[in-house]
Homo-oligomer: A and B are copies of this chain.
């Protein structure tokens, strides 16, 4: 099955390429970015002697002629105008941007006016552990954000046990690859090395994404208080969630039971870390309790489970393949 990667210049584009090179079913038939006219080896020198394919200047018509499914690793807003064209040309889409992740009104409140109101209502939120059946038949899957992926996988098993009306706090820490390839003050080596700091406390756009999904999946309204931090590491994301339980329940059992059949969620009995999941699609989770105080702890590779490998899992499901087909499980350890 031929697939296209649109937005091949960035980190998530590169990760898509890396996974699809060895995927047993998907064949990369088209790679594009906004400029084209380059070999993928010039764009990503680590691919020298590994993959030899021209990067095209993106064109929806061309995509529809050579691919059945397209991964869009594009900026917000750019993505929806392009997804719209592809869907009208009958190309399935896994969109890694935020453009189809939210209900229309939530999106417009936190991002901008939406340009593809037709398709957003049918998009499926691509968190496979919770939306697998809908993904199977969807033509448009909105790949979750990295913070929501790690946060929701940790939080959802406990939503029913948390005291209603109490705030949920999420202290999230991310490697700087999440800020992308574009040069910026925060990703200047001198500014981040030996350093760590919060940013956009209570204001990050992933906060409403988490709140909305908790409400849709669990029919509970919680105030999610989300504070992201930047870590002096390239890849990896660590989430620490704090909440107040109704009762002193057995939190280990609740967690274990929730993911007993989930191939890509590993329940740990010690706090999780970044390295054990770096390079993989795993989400590691751990939980602890102090009377009614709850600590849930999860880690993912922000570029893989938080973006590209989860996108390929979604594509696997949309295509009727096993969800684990070609999905990386072996960590960048040591």
Considering the chains assembled together, what is the distance between the CA atoms of A3 and B177 in angstroms?
Answer: 38
**By the criterion CB–CB under 8 Å, are A263 and B193 in contact?**
no
**Is A213 an interface residue, CB under 8 A from the partner?**
no
Interface mask (A90-129 → B, CB under 8 Å = 1, otherwise 0): 0000000000000000000000000000000000000000
**By the criterion CB–CB under 8 Å, are B223 and A290 in contact?**
yes
CB distance from A42 to the nearest CB of B (A): 11
Interface mask (A189-215 → B, CB under 8 Å = 1, otherwise 0): 111111111110110000000000000
Contacts of A330 in B (CB 8 A): 18, 21-22, 46-47, 50
**Is A309 an interface residue, CB under 8 A from the partner?**
no
**By the criterion CB–CB under 8 Å, are B167 and A292 in contact?**
yes
Q: State how many copies of this chain the complex holds.
A: 4
Q: Which of A54-62, A138-146, A147-155, A228-236 contacts B (4 or more CB under 8 A)?
A: A228-236
**By the criterion CB–CB under 8 Å, are B234 and A189 in contact?**
yes
**By the criterion CB–CB under 8 Å, are B242 and A242 in contact?**
yes
Count of residues in A whose CB is under 8 Å from the partner chain: 82
**Is A67 an interface residue, CB under 8 A from the partner?**
no
Question: Which listed residue, B185, B196, B234, touches A236 by the CB 8 Å rule?
Answer: B196
Q: Given A14-B334, A229-B240, A288-B201: A173 and B192 within 8 A (CB)? A: no
Can you list 12 pairs linking A and B with CB atoms under 8 Å apart?
A14-B333, A18-B330, A45-B276, A50-B330, A169-B242, A169-B293, A195-B233, A195-B236, A197-B273, A197-B299, A198-B271, A201-B295
